[in-house]
Amino acid sequence: MMPAVAEERRAPRIVGVEFPFGHAFGVAHDRSTQRHVLELALRVLAGASGFGTRVDLDVEWPVPLREAYRAWQPKEPSPIVKKMLEARANAARS
């Protein structure tokens, strides 16, 4: 999901997917894409020739960005996000 971050954190083998959070292997019930991602991950695991191998999957998420962006997020903000939003609101007030 965030292959650039995995690279910075020095992961030895990386498969990049441009999918929303919570969906590493693709759309629910889409066995074809799920298989595609798992097979690619296995090929990179077994076939990478050295540290830092990164292969990105050229599959576009089939839902419009705005809708997909909203859909992956929890119904209410996580505790850390809530805390950050409150801190931001307090800073704006002061």
Partner 1 sequence: MQVDSYRFLPRSFRPLYEGRGAFPGEEHPVWAPFEKRLSASRIALLTSAGIYLKTSQPSFDLDGERERPEWGDPSWRVIPSNAKPEDFAVAHLHINDEDLLADPEIALPVGMLRRLVEEGVVGAAAERQVGVMGYQDRRLKDWRETTAPAIVGHLREQEADGLILAPA
How many residues sit close enough to partner 1 to count as binding (CB under 8 A)? 56
Taking the complex as a whole, the smallest distance from the CB of residue 91 to partner 1 amounts, in Å, to 13
Does 79 engage in binding with partner 1 (CB under 8 A)?
Answer: yes
**25/33 Cα distance (integer angstroms):** 7
Does position 89 bind partner 1 by CB under 8 A? no
What's the CA gap between 15 and 25, in Å, rounded? 11
User: What are 74's two structure tokens?
Assistant: 């929890």
Residue 54, helix vs strand vs coil: strand
Nearest alpha-carbon partner for 7 in 53, 56, 59, 58: 53
- Taking the least distance from each CB to partner 1, the nearer of 69 and 89 is 69
Q: Which residues bind partner 1 (CB under 8 A)?
A: 1-6, 8-10, 12, 16-29, 31, 34-35, 38-39, 41-43, 45-48, 50-52, 56-58, 65, 68-69, 71-75, 78-83
